[in-house]
């Protein structure tokens, strides 16, 4: 599955920790605070999200763009220590918030 991660981190310690963790999971840094992987598994991604949750605080935000996941584009975001998910169908026929 293809996954892109956009990071908005509040301090340099969190930035360094998140950067190192993403690299450990096989992500490549494309631009400042933007990473991607074309080989992320769903299981590894769940572990990564839990690990990143522990490295961040309420001032940090992360946004994951996952495709394909059951034929859809899934956008997961961590903001104020809460995960939110937006599911978009490939045909563009609608969106579902979870």
Q: What is the pLDDT of residues 6-37, one digit of tens each?
A: 999 999 999 999 999 999 999 999 999 999 99
Sorting pLDDT into bands at 50, 70 and 90, what band is 91? low
| Rounded average pLDDT over 33-48 | 95
Per-residue tokens: 68: 């394909």
Domain ranges of the chain: 2-97
Identify which of 52, 56, 63, 61 has the alpha carbon closest to the alpha carbon of residue 85.
Answer: 63
- Residue entry with tokens 């299981």: 43
- The whole model's pTM is what? 0.86
Half-sphere exposure of 2 toward its Cβ, with a 13 Å CA cutoff? 6
**Above 60 in pLDDT, residue 47?**
yes
Tell me, which fold does domain 2-97 have in CATH?
Answer: Alpha-Beta Plaits (3.30.70)
Q: What is the pLDDT of residue 89?
A: 82
16-34 burial, b if ≥16 CB within 10 A, otherwise e?
ebbbeebeebebeeeeeee
**Above 90 in pLDDT, residue 94?**
no
Torsion, CA 41, CA 20, CA 86, CA 94, rounded to 10? -70
Question: What's the mean per-residue pLDDT of the chain?
Answer: 90
């Amino acid at each position: 599955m293809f996954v892109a991660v956009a990071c908005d981190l509040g301090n340099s310690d969190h930035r360094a920790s998140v950067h190192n963790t993403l690299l450990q999971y096989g992500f490549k840094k494309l631009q400042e605070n933007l990473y991607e992987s074309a080989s992320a598994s769903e299981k590894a991604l769940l572990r990564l999200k839990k690990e990143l949750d522990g490295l961040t605080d309420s001032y940090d935000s992360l946004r994951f763009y996952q495709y394909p996941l059951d034929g859809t584009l899934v956008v997961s975001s961590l903001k104020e220590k809460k995960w939110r998910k937006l599911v978009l169908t490939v045909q563009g026929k609608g969106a579902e918030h979870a």
